[in-house]
Amino acid sequence: MSLKPSDRPIRSFVIRASRATGSQRKALEQHWDTHVIPYEAGLLDFKKHFADTRQLTVEIGFGMGDSLLKMAQADPQSNFLGIEVHRPGVGKLLHGIAQHNLHNLKIMCHDATEVIANCFDPQSVDRLLIFFPDPWPKKRHHKRRIIQAEFVELLATRLAEGGVLHLATDWEAYALHMMEVLENEPTLINWSGAGKYCDSPARPETKFEHRGRRLGHRVWDLVFEKAGS
Ligand SMILES: C[S@@+](CC[C@H](N)C(=O)[O-])C[C@H]1O[C@@H](n2cnc3c(N)ncnc32)[C@H](O)[C@@H]1O
């Protein structure tokens, strides 16, 4: 039986046709079983996947993974989980993890909206990062933007008290939308003050951002903290 268009879930991504390079394909074959956590619609057992229980940072849509790799290398005392559906990007990050012999960085290759809803306990994540999500600029595509009130409400439940949600975009209209959605989530507090973007965000430059800056794009960062109960 085929799905009617109205039955299809609205996804925030399209699987891009770009092929993996030779080294990405090799990394996907050689390192998938060691560093990719298979998606199951059940809670993750972090003790099974990481050597120690430590602070956990989750990045959604890491793209080619360069900035996530840098963060995990720079902070060996924390655990990192990257969620991405683009296989060449997963291959690139797997290559980096193996090359640097990292034990604190794992990957899930699945729709992050399902991973966040089904795999994490409430208050189990210390930092949630979504850098340069697809802006879906056409009005009829706005429903595909990953930052929506309902998803942000879900993200906020997964953050530990004092945990941080950090978003960045180079698309002004999306930055305004992000600000409106985050400021309307009652459990989140803007680090920079009401309605203000963060001037000095602590994060490496991403690949997508690098391309945008070369084209003269501005960048907006939003850093919000989960309030205590
Ligand atoms: C515009 S790219 C930005 C990549 C990277 N953060 C950067 O700044 O270079 C957005 C990425 O998010 C991924 N993505 C979008 N929706 C996703 C979802 N629901 N689950 C997992 N990944 C998603 C896409 O595959 C894409 O690689």
Residue spans of the domains in the chain: they are: 21-36+47-226
Distance 108 CA to ligand 1 centre (A): 13
pLDDT at position 179: 98
pLDDT at position 104: 96
Q: What is the length of the chain?
A: 229
Distance 12 CA to ligand 1 centre (A): 8
CATH superfamily of 21-36+47-226: Vaccinia Virus protein VP39 (3.40.50.150)
Q: Following DSSP, what letter does each residue of 96-159 receive, concatenated?
A: HHHHTT-SSEEEE-S-HHHHHHHH--TT-EEEEEEES-----SGGGGGG-S--HHHHHHHHHHE
* Contact of 159 with 229, CB cutoff 8 Å: no
* Contact of 183 with 190, CB cutoff 8 Å: yes
- Is 134 a catalytic site residue? yes
pLDDT at position 1: 46
Regions of the chain with pLDDT less than 70: 1-7
Distances (CA, A) of 193 to 54, 147, 161, 180: 29, 20, 18, 13
Ligand 1 neighbours, Cβ below 6 Å, are: 12-13, 60-63, 83-86, 89, 111-113, 131-134, 146, 206-209
Q: What is the pTM of this model?
A: 0.96
Q: Which amino acid is at 67?
A: S
pLDDT at position 209: 97
